[in-house]
Structure 1
C-alpha cells in the first residue's frame, strides 16, 4: 500500500494568532512523513485572507501569500474574501509571488480568459506514480464579481465541463470547494468521479469526515481552530483501498517558542504600515451601539453622500471605538474592521416606511451578529440621515413620506442578503458600491 497524506485548512480569515501553531504542526508533519517515505500535500480551501487584520489590509493580502509559501502549500483555491473583498488589480496581482498553484475552474476575466495566476485543475504525481487530479471551485457571487470586473460562473456547470478530462488523467480526483456544505453534499451525489471533497465557506467542521456513497468530505471549521488531515491508502492497481478523515485541534497542539511575540509581530508589522494620517480631530468622536452620536451621524451622512441617495441608515454597532486627536488609517481599521460595502435600494414610500418601522424594533438592536461581513458583536440602534420621526410621521428630507413615491435608501450591504427586513429588501433592485468598504467612505468623509 502507498500512503498519501492530505492536510487542509480553510476559512482562516487572517486569524494569525493561530498561525504559529499551524505552521509548526505542518512543518513537523512534513518532516515525519518524508522520513517514512510517505507522500504529503497541503491545501488551503479559501478565505485565508481577511482585511480585518492590519497586516492583511496594509499589504492587500500579499503577506498572507508569503505565509503560505513558507509552509510549502501545494495548492489553494480562492474564497469570497480573496475575490470580492479586494479591488480588481489587488486580486490580479495577489499571487504574483506564490510558490503554490491557484486552482479555480469557475473564475475568469470578463472576456472569458482564465487569469494568468490561476488554472482550473492540476495533476500531481507521487513518487510511486499515483496521479492526483485536483480541481478548485469558488462560491458564485456572480453579481458582485461582475462589479469588480471578473466573471464567476456556475460551479456545477464548470465541474461537469472539467471532471471527465481530469478523471481520464488521474487515479484520485480531489475537489477544493469553497462552496459550502450543502453544495459539497450535492456534488458528491451528482459527480461519482469525485473521491475527496475538501470543503469551506460555511465554516462547517467534519470531525471524521462525511462519506456520501464513495466520496469522502472533509472540512476544518473556521479561523484556524482546526487543521484537517485525510489519509489515503492506494494499492498497486492505483485504486483507493482506504481513506480516513480526522481533525487536529490547534489548542491541543504543542505551543510554539515565542508564540505570543510572533503573533504580536504580525499585528505590529501591519500597524506600522498603516500610520498614514487621515485627519486631526479638535474634539473626540464617541460611539455607543445604543445611542446616536456625532460619530454615527457622520458615518450615516457619509454613506448617503457617497451613494448620492435620498436617505441613509446605518447600525451604530458598526463603530467599535472612539476617535480622538490624530487619526490614522490603522485607527479607522480598528474601529471599523468590517468588509462591508454600501448599497442602494429603490423603495416605494410604503416599503421604506415598513423598513424604517421595523428598524425601530429593540429586539433587532440587541441582536448579536456573526458573519455577513460584520466583525462587531451587537447590531445596535439605527442612525439615519435625511430621515426623521416626528409626531408619528416619517419625514424624508423636509417632506412627509409619500406612500407612492420612489426613494433611494443607502445602507450597509449586510442588510440586503436576506437575513434582515425579509418582507421588503430581498426582492428589491439593489446597487452595490465596490470595492470601497465603509471605513474607506468614513476616511473620505473625515478627509473632506
Structure 2
C-alpha cells in the first residue's frame, strides 16, 4: 500500500435551479469520477445548497422534486441546504423534499423547533470511509433564526455548533470537510477561529475563488453561481505522518463538457409537464395591469394595496421593480404570476414615525433610487423602480432632486410625531436600501406566502382594483 492517497472533491453551489447547466455538470462529474477512480484515487461529489430556487417553473410546480431527481441522476453523494431550500419552502414541503434522495443531506445547525431533534431528512454529520482514508463531513446553513422559527425550525449559531461537532469528530477521522452555506466572510471567520477543519466548501455569497484561498491550515473553495463552474479540490493524505501533505483548488468551466443527453431530455420533458401544471387558473382579472419601472402604475398600487391588506397595515409600499411582466385581463395562471413575481420575497410590517415615513418617501422618488440596480436578498429583477403606495397621497415637485410638499395618510395630513404601521416587503428590512424602514420598530414577517401567492388572493378584489386606478403621487409645478 502506498504511503499516500489522493482525494478529489467535485463541488457545486448556488445553482438556483439554473437547470441548463446541469447536463454539462453531470458529464463533468461522471467523466472525472471515472478517470480518477480508474487510478485508484477517491472521489466525493457534493452540492453546497441553493440548488432549488422557486423562480423556475420545474422547481415551483414540483416543490423541488425535479432538483432532487437531477442531483440523484448526476451522482451527488452529499449535499447541504441553502436559504432557498430552508426558508422559501413551507415546513411540510421541506420535510418531503428529500424523501427520494439517493444522497445524504448533512446539516448540523438546523433542528425541529418542537423537539430539538435533527430533521428526519438530514444527519448532523457523516463519515465517509475508504480502506486508507476516513473523511468527516459537516454541513451548515445561514441561520436566519427569526424566519426559521416562524416556519417551525430552530436555526442555531453555526460557529458554536461546528465547534462542538469538530471536537467530537476530529479524533475519529483523518480529514474534515465542511459544506458551508454561510457565505465567504463567515467562511473566513471559521477558518480563523475553528481549528480542525481542513476544507471549507463555500456558498451563499456567490464568490468565485479560482484557486481557493488558504487561511491558516484551512483551504476555502467556492464556485460562483448558476452552475457556470464546477469546483475541484485535490487533497493528498500521508498515512504515515497522518497529515494532509497537499491541498489545492481549481475550477472547471461547465460549458467545456458535452451535455449528457439523458438528463437534457428529462429536463425538456419536465419543462413541458410543469408548464402545463402551472397553467391552472389562479385568478380571474378584471383589468389589464401593465408594468413600468420608472413611473407610477396601477399595478404598483395594486401590489402596495395587497401588502397593506395582507398585513392589516395603515400604509402599503412596494417598489415597481418587483413587477417583471404585465398581467392581462381574464384568466391569470400560476405560471403568469411566477413570470411576473419570481422573487422569494415575502410581506412584512413595520412601525415608522411620520418623520421616518416622510424621509422614506422622499428618498424613494430620487432618480438615483428609482434607477438603482438591485442584487441579492431574493430580488430577481434589475432596478428598484418607482415606489408603489397605498393608503397615501403624496404631492411633490419634480426636478433634479424631487421634493415632497405634502403627504396625507388615509385622508389626513401626515403627523410627523405619530407612529404608522407600514406593510411592505422583507427585502427592504434586509438590504437596508431605505434605512428608515430597516430601523423601524415592531417588525413582523409573514411566512410562508410569497408575493405571487398573495396576489393570487387579492387580484380578485374588485374594490382594491378600482381604488388602485386613482393616482397616489401628485406632481406639482416647481415653485
Q: Deviations over 1:142-166 (max 9, x none)?
A: 0111111110000011011111111
Q: What is residue 421 of structure 1 aligned with on the other side?
A: 434
Q: What is residue 363 of structure 1 aligned with on the other side?
A: 368
Q: Which secondary structure does the structure 2 equivalent of 1:429 belong to?
A: strand
Mapping 1:142-161, distance limit 5 Å: 142-161=145-164
Contact 2:369 2:384 in 1 (8 A): yes
Q: Deviations over 1:219-238 (max 9, x none)?
A: 11111111100011122324
Of the three residues 229, 233, 243, the one matched with 1:230 is 233
Of the three residues 283, 293, 297, the one matched with 1:293 is 297
Distance, in Å, in 2 between the alignment partners of 1:226 and 1:202 is 15
Q: What is residue 382 of structure 1 aligned with on the other side?
A: 387
What is the TM-score when the length of structure 1 is the normalising length?
0.96
Contact 1:198 1:217 in 2 (8 A): yes
User: Relative to structure 1, is the Cα distance of residues 258 and 118 closer, same or farther in structure 2, using a 3 angstrom cutoff?
Assistant: closer
Does 1:57 find its partner at 2:70?
A: no
Distance, in Å, in 2 between the alignment partners of 1:236 and 1:163 is 21
Does 1:271 find its partner at 2:284?
A: no
Of the three residues 162, 167, 185, the one matched with 1:164 is 167
Does 1:411 find its partner at 2:416?
A: no
Q: What is residue 113 of structure 1 aligned with on the other side?
A: 117
Q: Which secondary structure does the structure 1 equivalent of 2:9 belong to?
A: strand
Contact 1:278 1:447 in 2 (8 A): no
How much has 1:254 moved relative to structure 2?
3.5
Does 1:307 find its partner at 2:321?
A: no
Q: Deviations over 1:335-375 (max 9, x none)?
A: 11011001101111111111111111121110111111111
Q: Deviations over 1:387-416 (max 9, x none)?
A: 111372101101011112111011111111
Q: What is residue 401 of structure 1 aligned with on the other side?
A: 414
Distance, in Å, in 2 between the alignment partners of 1:86 and 1:303 is 20
How much has 1:67 moved relative to structure 2?
0.8
Q: What is residue 455 of structure 2 aligned with on the other side?
A: 442
Q: Deviations over 1:210-261 (max 9, x none)?
A: 1111211111111111110001112232432211110011233345559976
What is the TM-score when the length of structure 2 is the normalising length?
0.90
Residue range with higher mean Cα deviation, 28-37 or 130-139: 28-37
Distance, in Å, in 1 between the alignment partners of 2:136 and 2:43 is 15
Distance, in Å, in 2 between the alignment partners of 1:100 and 1:191 is 27
User: Relative to structure 1, is the Cα distance of residues 250 and 82 closer, same or farther in structure 2, using a 3 angstrom cutoff?
Assistant: same
Distance, in Å, in 2 between the alignment partners of 1:204 and 1:367 is 22
Q: Flag as ranges the 4+ runs of structure 1 deviating above 6 A.
A: 258-262
Gap runs ≥5 in structure 2: 397-404, 462-479
Distance, in Å, in 1 between the alignment partners of 2:376 and 2:116 is 31
User: Relative to structure 1, is the Cα distance of residues 266 and 364 closer, same or farther in structure 2, using a 3 angstrom cutoff?
Assistant: farther
Residue range with higher mean Cα deviation, 59-68 or 418-427: 418-427
Q: Which secondary structure does the structure 1 equivalent of 2:24 belong to?
A: helix
Gap runs ≥5 in structure 1: none
Distance, in Å, in 2 between the alignment partners of 1:219 and 1:106 is 20
Mapping 1:132-211, distance limit 5 Å: 132-211=135-214
Contact 1:16 1:266 in 2 (8 A): no
Q: Which secondary structure does the structure 2 equivalent of 1:21 belong to?
A: helix
Distance, in Å, in 2 between the alignment partners of 1:260 and 1:34 is 25
Distance, in Å, in 1 between the alignment partners of 2:366 and 2:264 is 42
Does 1:323 find its partner at 2:336?
A: no
Distance, in Å, in 2 between the alignment partners of 1:48 and 1:94 is 12
Q: Considering only aligned residues, what root-mean-square deviation do their CA atoms show, in Å?
A: 1.7
Q: What is residue 346 of structure 2 aligned with on the other side?
A: 341
Distance, in Å, in 2 between the alignment partners of 1:183 and 1:283 is 48
Q: Which secondary structure does the structure 2 equivalent of 1:93 belong to?
A: helix
Contact 1:123 1:169 in 2 (8 A): no
Q: Which secondary structure does the structure 1 equivalent of 2:209 belong to?
A: coil
